[in-house]
Amino acid sequence: MFVDEAHIVVRAGDGGNGMVAFRREKYVPRGGPAGGDGGGGGSIYLLGDAQRTTLLDFRHKRGFHAPNGAPGGPDNCHGKDGDDIIIPVPLGTLVRDGDQLIADVRDEGARVIVARGGRGGLGNAHFATSVNQTPRFAQRGEPGEERTLDLQLKLLADAGIVGAPNAGKSTLLASVSAARPKIADYPFTTLEPQLGVVPIDIDANFVLVDVPGLIEGASAGAGLGDTFLRHIERTRVLIHLIDGALSPGEALAQKAMIEDELGAWNPQLLRKKRIVAVSKMDLPNAADVLAAVEEATGDKVFGISAATGQGVKPLMSAAYAAIQSERAVEAASASEPGVVLRPKPVTGRRRVEVSKEGRAFRVSGGSLERLATMTDLDSDEGRAFFARALARSGALRKLQRLGLRAGDTVRVGAAEFVYS
């Protein structure tokens, strides 16, 4: 079963909590703090896998949750990190979080992170100072990212065959490759894209895709066109196959209809290199169709018969030459093929902003929001630690200018505490 769309939920592991502990050893008076750090939560990655050609696996499993990091231990023992989860996907998979494109996996082995594991909290050993030599405070682990992702597969093929139903597309694919698509004399025999590898020479070949036939209105949802037109968007060359069993007038009308539907779906498709061919040249009137199409296009048109093999090899050779030419152009302009990674988080300090929310105050800033999540604001030491962080960032001064007084509520991210 061919599935080219899926929705999954990924949740990275939370970081482990840091520990509050002190050395308790014989002959070691006042051993001091010795709480270990929590382990990092597991992250979730997508991995390009050339052996997969469909998103069918995600029909049955849609949720992925990476393990959490273990909490820190005594004697400065670091908690165990959570294991990462690696999810294989077919090459050509687009990954979106809402309207944002996160990844475009194109190459075998290309890997992209889609949910980052939370950082482990620091143990109390990190908070010892000359003034506070026995801190009874440790950080909580940072929550892991959770995202709902839309996966969409666009098959990666070098060339695509387009045309109306029963134009002979599946027959052509079967005659030049090992693919065995269903072939019959009724419309829409092909219900899903079919891939085949076309050998040209010992070390030369290309991937050819046959999509279901296009009818008028396909770009707007008629027939099966709008379901599978996306699979020819990434082809380098299009082979436009025209039914040689038609009359010359019908053939020209069919050619114009296919071009209109391609342009209506994506105007970029009309800018691709297109090779026009007339099928079924073993029929009596196919020669008239070939002459009419060639006169209308003013360019070379290939006449082929998949049943007898007439003209098939020259057509495939022309397609391979066009593909090689397009590959050279892409290689010259490509900067980093393979995978489009999601934007990396900004590592610099984000500006701290403060505002009033009714009678409460809101503090916004990436580092402070993360710190608030990892701080136990229910403890006196936790609140004192976070208050010092507010002062260092300049947020406390801004809050006081807005009128902050003891007893007021301050919100930072999802955390909330009473200022004193």
CATH of the domain at 256: 3.40.50.300
| Average pLDDT of the residues of the chain | 83
pLDDT of residue 348: 41
Three-state SS string over 262-292 comes to HHHHCHHHHHCEEEEEECCCCCCCHHHHHHH
Which of 99, 131, 153 is the last residue before a domain boundary? 153
Give domain status of residue 345, yes or no.
no
Which of 129, 153, 177 is the last residue before a domain boundary? 153
Please check whether residue 220 is in contact with residue 201, taking contact to mean a CB–CB distance below 8 angstroms.
no
- Region 353-370: mean pLDDT is 85
67 shares its domain with 123: yes
How far does Cα 69 stand from its chain's mean position?
Answer: 26
Instruction: Give the SS3 label for residue 221.
Output: coil
Give domain status of residue 338, yes or no.
no
144 shares its domain with 169: no
pLDDT of residue 329: 82
139 shares its domain with 172: no
pLDDT at position 177 over 70: yes
What is the band of 82 on the pLDDT scale with cuts at 50, 70, 90?
Answer: very high
Give domain status of residue 339, yes or no.
no
- Region 148-163: mean pLDDT is 86
131 shares its domain with 188: no
83 shares its domain with 174: no
Beta strands in 365-408 (DSSP E): none
* Number of domains composing the chain: 3
- Note the pLDDT tens digit of each residue in 300-309: 889 888 888 8
Structural domain harbouring 219: 159-333
Instruction: Give the SS3 label for residue 7.
Output: strand
Give domain status of residue 360, yes or no.
yes
Give the CATH number, domain containing residue 407.
3.30.300.350
What is the band of 36 on the pLDDT scale with cuts at 50, 70, 90?
Answer: very high
Give the C-alpha distances (Å, rounded to integers) separating 67 from 10, 17, 84, 299. Answer: 12, 14, 8, 61
164 shares its domain with 139: no
What is the band of 152 on the pLDDT scale with cuts at 50, 70, 90?
Answer: confident
| Token pair recorded at residue 207 | 């991937």
pLDDT of residue 344: 47
pLDDT of residue 16: 94
Give the CATH number, domain containing residue 23.
2.70.210.12
pLDDT at position 363 over 90: no
pLDDT at position 168 over 60: yes
146 shares its domain with 29: yes
280 shares its domain with 388: no
pLDDT of residue 186: 45
pLDDT of residue 228: 67
Q: Which of 4-13, 25-34, 181-190, 201-210 has the highest mean pLDDT?
A: 4-13
Give domain status of residue 255, yes or no.
yes
Which of 135, 153, 171 is the last residue before a domain boundary? 153
206 shares its domain with 94: no
Q: How far apart are CA 138 and CA 15, in angstroms?
A: 13
- Region 181-187: mean pLDDT is 52
131 shares its domain with 172: no
- Region 344-351: mean pLDDT is 49
